[in-house]
Amino acid sequence: MIKGVIFDMDGVLVDNRDAHIEAFTRLFKKYGVPFDREKFMPSFGMTNDMIFARQAPELLERYPLEQLSLEKEALYRSIFEESIAPTRGLVDFLKSLKEHGIKIAVGSSGNTNNVNFVLSRCRIAEYFDAIANGDMISHGKPDPEVYLLAAKLLGLKPEECVVIEDAPVGIEAARRAGMAAVALATTFSRDRIPDYDILVDDFTQLGYEQVMHLPAFADRPVQVEN
């Protein structure tokens, strides 16, 4: 029986792919490093240390990771603050989960400042019972640490939780944590998202009943379309 829902943040609570890409583009340009969008996309959902190590290891040889991360995330927030909004249908879905007594957590690779930025600007902080973020873990996705921590903070077993994700590395983390997975086709197109239990475009296509019956869907993925 599902008792908790754990939400990834980037691409799930907010559709912010392009803001992150723009922030990395500006940062890399400043330091004279080319930014390859296609090369970057498989890293979406990982922590900054993993992204910089994959995309621009030469920068880590010249500058501290903390400096680069702080600068990139400040750029991201300045870019996104004018257009930030909850993903379509999110608030109604959160309300429905709360009405049915379901515990809710964030499980994000993002840092504390970014999580607080999203929850406060979207006015959804009140719906969350726990937060696990990139500042609280040693291993980023696809390692399952952040989702196992989120379940622990909710006081639930992994098998009692479902993860809502947008990125392949996040879905892998959910699977490795022993959790069901709902995928949102926000950051990636439907054909590039693997190993989900339910696939939707946004939260208007997802309801409480679907989530509660996820164990029955375990071996037959379902795509939901308008």
| 190: helix, strand or coil | helix
Q: What number of helices (H) and strands (E) belong to the chain?
A: 10, 7
- Residue 82: partners with Cβ closer than 8 Å, 6 or more residues away: none
The answer to whether 221 touches 214, Cβ cutoff 8 Å, is: no
Catalytic site residue 8? Answer: yes
| Dihedral angle of Cα 18, 173, 165, 17, to the nearest 10 degrees | 0
Contacts of 157 (CB under 8 A, 6+ apart): 151
Q: Which residues pair with 6 in a beta bridge?
A: 105, 163
Query: Which candidate in 8, 10, 143, 166 is catalytic?
Result: 8
Q: What amino acid occupies position 165? A: E
Cβ–Cβ < 8 Å for 28, 180: no
Tokens 């909004």 -> residue: 85
Residues taking part in catalysis = 8
